[in-house]
């Protein structure tokens, strides 16, 4: 399933402003998606945030470039994330 990019943020300040606008605590997590390249992602999952009525993930896809993707409800997991293995 391909996630739809809804916004591109091109600065650290813009990223901070976007994070300040999110609604409360994280809504869950999703496994890392192989079709979204992220040279800075070292975790096996991404945290899902609620932005208005839309669940989103924020991924740094290049230096100082953050892409915001809408996440379908059926992909969100709310149980404990998987432990990374060495």
pLDDT tens for 9-57 read 999 999 999 999 998 889 999 998 888 888 887 888 899 999 999 999 9
Give the pLDDT confidence of 62-84 residue by residue, as tens digits: 999 999 999 999 999 987 655 55
Output the CA torsion sign for 19, 22, 25, 28.
negative
Backbone angles phi, psi at 14, to 5 degrees: -65, -40
Q: What is the spatial distance between Cα 20 and Cα 41, in angstroms, rounded to a whole number?
A: 21
């Amino acid at each position: 399933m391909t996630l739809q990019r809804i916004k591109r943020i091109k600065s650290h300040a813009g990223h901070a402003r976007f994070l300040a606008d999110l609604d409360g605590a994280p809504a869950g997590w999703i496994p890392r998606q192989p079709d979204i390249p992220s040279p800075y992602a070292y975790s096996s999952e991404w945290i899902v945030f609620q932005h208005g009525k839309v669940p989103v993930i924020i991924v740094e896809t290049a230096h100082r470039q953050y892409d915001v993707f809408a996440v379908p409800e059926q992909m969100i997991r709310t149980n404990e994330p998987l432990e990374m293995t060495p």
